[in-house]
Chains A and B, each alone.
Chain A
């Protein structure tokens, strides 16, 4: 158990809908990261937050957005969902953002768009 908690574990929704994935980082961790893993793309970095502020952006679509709240939990919002958005979404956290700070991953949220 990494200490990173993600909810829901599984989610099935229809195309065009909007969903919110939630992440609670490890206790004391200030930085949160979101990743997407689909069968044909591998693990793709989406976005990073540090202490409430966006720090880095990866291959995140404009239909997707995220935020980190004052209590440090984070939410990833996915809207106008398409079949291709079906994937595993991982949240990860680290204490700080320096390269020597290990990133720990949650168990992921399975999203199926039908």
Chain B
């Protein structure tokens, strides 16, 4: 599976957009990009995923570069409840989801 690189931590002001980057320069054509988040010690929560095209749902937007080597998760209006560890994962085939260290996002008032 392709490896991902994320910043260790980020801060965001409440009400502003949170843009979380992820580098996956070794991604293959059939590998999906998934984003999850984990609040405290709760179960990881699915946010969004994509293959080639940008995606948007009620939680977030996922922007994947044309060469697919990086992506950005956008939380349009961050709230304090969005403080969590965000995981960017590249998944291929029938494999499970392999988690890295993620980005610890802190939303500040």
Are the CB atoms of B96 and A33 closer together than 8 Å? Answer: yes
Answer whether A99 and B93 are a contact pair too, CB < 8 Å, given A42-B101, A45-B98: yes
Q: Which residues of B in the span 64-109 have a Cβ within 8 Å of any Cβ on A?
A: 87, 91-101
The listed residue with most A CB atoms (<10 A of its CB), out of B44, B45, B46, is: B44
Residue of B nearest to A55 (CB): B94
Would you call A108 and B97 a contact (CB within 8 A)? no
Pick from B32, B43, B96: contact of A107, CB under 8 Å: B43
Shortest CB distance B99–A (Å): 4
B60 at the interface (CB under 8 A from A): no
B91: which A residues are within 8 A, CB to CB? Answer: 99
Contacts of A88 in B (CB 8 A): 41
Task: Name the A residues within 8 Å of B42 (CB-CB).
Answer: 107-108
**Would A99 and B96 count as touching, CB distance under 8 A?**
no
Q: Is the CB of A33 within 8 A of B94?
A: no
- Find chain A residues with CB under 8 A from B34 CB: 102
With an 8 A cutoff between CB atoms, is B30 at the interface? Answer: yes
Instruction: Give every chain A residue within 8 A of B32 (Cβ-Cβ).
Output: 99-100
- The majority secondary structure among interface residues of chain B is loop
Cα–Cα, bound, A74→B97 (Å): 18
B31-A48 in contact (CB<8A): no
Q: Which residue of B lies closest to A33 (CB)?
A: B96
Chain B CB within 8 A of A25 CB: no
Q: With CB as the reference atom, state the residue of chain B lying closest to A96.
A: B94
By a CB distance below 8 angstroms, the chain A residues around B46 are: 2, 102-105
Is A97 an interface position by the 8 A CB rule? yes
With a cutoff of 8 Å between Cβ atoms, the chain B residues found around residue A56 in the complex are 94-96
In the bound complex, what is the Cα–Cα distance between A92 and B45 (angstroms)?
11
What is the minimal beta-carbon distance from B96 to any residue of chain A, in angstroms?
5
CB contact list, A37-63 vs B, under 8 A: 37, 42-43, 45, 48, 50, 55-56, 58
Closest Cβ neighbor of B99 among chain A residues = A43
Q: A42-B101, A102-B49 are in contact. Are A97 and B44 (CB under 8 A)?
A: no
Query: Which residues on B are within 8 Å of A, measured CB to CB?
Result: 30-32, 34, 36, 38, 41-46, 49, 51, 87, 91-101
